[in-house]
């Protein structure tokens, strides 16, 4: 997504795509790192309207698309794709236990086989031909980046219904994507009050609304004949961005181009596989290579990337079963103590290295990053160690790629106790939420809304249980290490006192 000086259209707004990739061990950015294909780049975007998410009500959905479990629209999609050049498939769309709809093996599939072979002509990219060329010309003249360009393209094609070549594809897309973009602010505040994902969801909604506001003010309002507000509005943009967050992939063998790949985007995620979508030059199609075998009738999976359960809920609207996600993590917020005599000096050291007085670091079942330990050393360090503040801040920022074995034995117990205190404070928040009835922003007499409320509460509960589990594990490790350290100190002190008595 190129940045341009001729537009203020959030040129850096490039939400992460589906793909496995390098999982950064330090602080999580505003967005999940990757999605269903190959590495995505995390981005930040300012917003034109920060208060908008709080005002938005639950949407009834757009006038196109289908219910998430619809097989009829999926069958029509398959017929259209085959008529348009998709080769014979060894997979079929069926209703599945994981993901509502999914691709299921029709025949025995061996490990290492290439599947799908979706031709590039059936892939939606920033270069796709617009059914209304004059609309596309305006967008491209204004150098709109790929993400908002494709989002606008989807809406434009969807509004044309049967006259768009993509009508069968759009009809098979969910009318309301499973995404936190579709949670109201009241729902986020009530159900995700204990989870760090709440803030990331609010920021994501704010960024999408800000992007829409820029497009409206700089392009749509000046070409209202091409961009009528009844079609190009915040609800349709929330829908199109919801589709992009959950389905857009980056294809490394096509120079990293981002794309929507019909048929392939019916594949669901499993943490047990690592295969992802890419362009195969030999067959000239979008494929993935199986990394396990499948029996007829068995659902076939790809990886959306090494994502935490919170990231999967944020973009895709589901939470893996507790204990099944090996990539699970939870962000731990740590802060400097404002009453610390060295607060100003520590803060300056952090700022020089791109950090602030409060930072989040990912905890995993397997442990915590060295950057968190460095930050904790800085927090607890006394005034006589002020000359070490800078090296601690550098280590906490992950700027030193060589990662020397820094350690401050005299501070280790205090640093571990600091992290433990932060963990236990977070555990208390999760426990309060989970044991407090899980809250509800409103009581609805509408059956559909009541079912939605039950679904959201269950998703939030599952996420909080998974995240609290990691905190409990970290708490256990920290307590045991501190006990061993203090036990060793007591033994050493006892030995020392014994020796003193011996020589008296």
Residue list for the binding site for S-adenosyl-L-methionine:
247, 268-269
Angle between the 309-316 and 234-247 helix axes, to the nearest 10 degrees? 130
Binding site for substrate: which residues?
Answer: 247, 265, 304, 316
- How many whole angstroms separate alpha carbon 373 and alpha carbon 361? 10
| Residue 281: exposure state from Cβ atoms within 10 A (0-12, 13-18, ≥19) | exposed
* DSSP H stretches of helix in 36-184: 52-55, 72-83, 133-141, 146-159, 167-172
- How many whole angstroms separate alpha carbon 286 and alpha carbon 301? 15
Q: Cβ distance 277 to 92 under 8 Å? A: no
Q: Cβ distance 208 to 52 under 8 Å? A: no
Query: Which letter does DSSP use for residue 38 in this model?
Result: S
* DSSP H stretches of helix in 363-446: 370-380, 389-397, 409-434
How far, in Å, are 28, 189, 249, 389, 454 from residue 430 at the CA level? 20, 14, 33, 33, 19
- How many whole angstroms separate alpha carbon 391 and alpha carbon 26? 17
Of 99, 65, 58, residue with least CA distance to 300: 99
Binding site: which residues?
Answer: 247, 265, 268-269, 304, 316
Q: How many C-beta atoms lie closer than 10 Å to residue 146's C-beta?
A: 20
Strand ranges, E, within 290-444: 301-302, 329-335, 358-364
- How many whole angstroms separate alpha carbon 478 and alpha carbon 499? 32
């Amino acid at each position: 997504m190129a940045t341009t000086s001729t537009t203020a259209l959030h040129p850096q707004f490039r939400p992460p795509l589906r793909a496995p990739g390098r999982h950064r061990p330090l602080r999580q950015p505003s967005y999940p790192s990757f999605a269903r294909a190959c590495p995505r780049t995390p981005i930040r975007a300012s917003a034109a309207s920060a208060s908008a998410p709080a005002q938005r009500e639950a949407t009834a959905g757009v006038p196109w698309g289908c219910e998430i479990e619809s097989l009829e629209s999926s069958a029509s999609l398959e017929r259209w794709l085959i008529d348009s050049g998709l080769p014979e498939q060894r997979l079929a769309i069926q209703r599945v236990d994981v993901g509502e709809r999914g691709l299921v093996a029709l025949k025995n599939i061996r490990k290492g086989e290439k599947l799908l072979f979706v031709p590039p002509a059936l892939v939606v990219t920033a270069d796709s031909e617009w059914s209304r060329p004059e609309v596309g010309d305006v967008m491209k003249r204004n150098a709109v980046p790929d993400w908002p360009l494709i989002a606008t393209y989807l809406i434009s094609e969807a509004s044309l219904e049967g006259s768009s070549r993509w009508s069968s594809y759009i009809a098979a897309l969910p009318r309301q994507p499973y995404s936190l973009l579709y949670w109201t602010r009241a729902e986020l505040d009530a159900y995700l009050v204990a989870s760090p994902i709440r803030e990331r969801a609010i920021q994501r909604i704010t960024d999408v609304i800000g992007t829409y506001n820029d497009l409206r003010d700089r392009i749509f309002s000046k070409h209202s004949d091409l961009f009528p507000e009844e079609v190009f509005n915040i609800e349709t943009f929330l829908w199109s961005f919801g589709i992009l967050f959950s389905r857009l992939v980056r294809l490394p063998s096509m120079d990293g181009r981002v794309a929507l790949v019909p048929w392939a985007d019916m594949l669901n995620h499993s943490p047990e596989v690592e295969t992802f979508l890419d362009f195969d030059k030999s067959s000239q199609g979008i494929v993935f290579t199986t990394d396990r075998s499948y029996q007829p009738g068995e659902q076939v999976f790809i990886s959306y990337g090494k994502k935490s359960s919170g990231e999967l809920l944020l973009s895709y609207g589901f939470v893996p079963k507790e204990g099944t996600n090996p990539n699970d993590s939870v962000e731990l917020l740590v802060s400097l103590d404002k009453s610390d005599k060295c607060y100003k000096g520590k803060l300056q050291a952090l700022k020089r290295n791109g950090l602030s007085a409060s930072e989040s670091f990912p905890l995993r079942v397997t442990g915590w990053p060295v950057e968190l330990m460095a930050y904790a050393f800085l927090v607890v360090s006394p005034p006589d160690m002020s000359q070490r503040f800078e090296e601690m801040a550098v280590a906490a920022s992950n700027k030193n790629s060589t990662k020397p074995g820094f350690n401050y034995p005299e501070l280790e117990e205090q640093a571990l106790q600091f992290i433990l205190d932060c963990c236990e404070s977070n555990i208390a928040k999760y426990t309060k939420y989970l044991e407090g009835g899980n809250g509800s922003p409103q009581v609805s007499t509408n059956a559909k809304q009541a079912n939605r409320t039950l679904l959201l509460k269950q998703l939030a509960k599952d996420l909080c249980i998974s995240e609290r589990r990691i905190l409990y594990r970290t708490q256990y490790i920290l307590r045991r290490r501190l006990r061993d350290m203090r036990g060793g100190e007591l033994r050493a002190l006892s030995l020392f006192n014994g020796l003193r008595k011996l020589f008296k």
